[in-house]
Structure formats: C-alpha cells, structure tokens
A = this chain, B = another copy of it.
Amino acid sequence: MKRVKLKVAYEGTQYHGWQLQKNGETIESQLNLHLSALLKEDIQVIGASRTDAGVHALSNIAIFDTSHRMPAEKISYALNQRLPEDIRIMESVQVASDFHPRKCASKKTYEYHIYHAPFPNPLIRNTSFFTYVDLNLSKMKRALPYFIGTHDFKSFASIHSSAETTIRTIYELCIDEDGPLIKIRITGNGFLYNMVRIIAGTLLEIGQGRMKPEDIPEIIAACDRSKAGPTAPAKGLTLYSYEFVDGEDKPLHLL
C-alpha cells in the first residue's frame, strides 16, 4: 500500500465544485471515477482545498492510498488519458503514508482576476470576472497592506464557514495590472470559506469609492461579515499554488 499525492489543475466552469455532491459532477467525483477504473480499486481521494463551483485551480492537492503496483509518478500520465480535458494531473508522487494535506503547515496562493474594460473578453470569460464600472486602482492598492499579517478574519468569512478558528496569516497581497486585466494575488497560511472572494469583493467596493482603504482595520476588528464587501463571483478565482512548508510532501524515493 502506498500513499500518492496528486497536483490537480482544472477549469471549474463545468463542475459543482471540488467536493462530492449527490447530484452533479465534481472534481472529486471525476478523480474517484477515473482513478478507480485505472487502478482497479475503489479509490476515494482526500482533497486539500474544497474549491467552490466555478472556481479554478492550477495546483490543488489530493491524496489517496493504493496497493496497485503502478509507480506513483506514472499515474499522472495514465490518469490524464482518462480525465476530461478540463482536468489535468500536473504531478503524481509517492508521499509518507501519514502525510495529510489538511494537517500540514502550508502556503497557498490564489489569484482573483478582474477584466476591466467596456466589454468582456471572450477568451478569458470563464476565468475572470468582467466589470466595466470605474475603478480607482490606486485606492484599491492602498488597502492592501492592512490585510497583511495575522488577523482574525471573521469579517471576511462566509457565515457558513465551519472553521474552528478564524485567525489566519496573509503573507502577501498585491495587485498587478496586465492591460485591462487586474490580478489580485494573495498568499497565506490558509483561507476561510469564501475569504479570497470577500477580500476581492471588498477591494472592488473600495475601487468604486463605496468603501475607503482606511476602513479595512475597522472592518477586520469588527469580526462581522456584514461589514465587509460582497463575495466576488467564483469564476474570477484560481488556486495558483499549494506549498507544504515543512516539506512532508517530499516524494519518497523507495521504488
């Protein structure tokens, strides 16, 4: 028996999110289906980040155990032959049998993309949120430093969040402009349910002058979801990278 870690990329448009649902395809259901067929065992993956419907990933993480003798690093190639083309395994490696992605210290980076122009760009319509409203980018940028550091982010968590603690650390938050594409990039040790989308929604409020950059400390201190901006649409969000800080995921070269 060995434990295998997958790095999974997907366009979430066609799926009901990561997590198994009674009705509708999910990333998890697709992985379980095709892994089970490939390895001729009943495989149930465990995901690191349960992304919502419409959210994308370049690097989400899943683990599973198998007694199949296929070398772990070959599984990516074989599984990609079976998966639909909007899901791809970027890497498969063997990890320690007690490695669990949600029980390891990790650094996650998300990007939220806003396409800011008079009309939507059809080439990135599924991976960006389109808006034509006036946005004051320099005000949005002035708000960023207030988020950095360790805070109770309860104001930026969906009320449906079931997290034990709402304290999280944000290492980096920046906005890059690539022509009409505004890229909000955020790195932290973890994110509450909808946290990145609520931060993006709050920055959009600031960009439109409905909130001020200087309001952020007060919004954080309130620990009240209703003080922050709305949850920005799912399609603009992509999980970019998932890094395990203490390296428990290093592949075991036992084969």
Contact = CB atoms under 8 A, between A and B. Distances in A.
B123 A58 contact: yes
A56 B122 CA distance: 9
A164 interface: no
A238 B89 contact: no
A80 interface: yes
A85 B122 contact: yes
Size range of the chain A interface in the assembly: 20 to 34
Interface string A160-181: 0000000000000000000000
Given A85-B125, A125-B85, A90 B119 contact: yes
Contacts of A238: 123
A118 interface: yes
A127 interface: yes
Nearest to A121: B9
B89 A58 contact: no
B11 A86 contact: no
A91 B117 CA distance: 11
Interface of A: 9-11, 56, 58, 76, 80, 85-91, 118-123, 125, 127, 238
The 6 closest A-B pairs by CB, nearest first: A11-B122, A86-B122, A88-B122, A88-B119, A90-B119, A9-B122
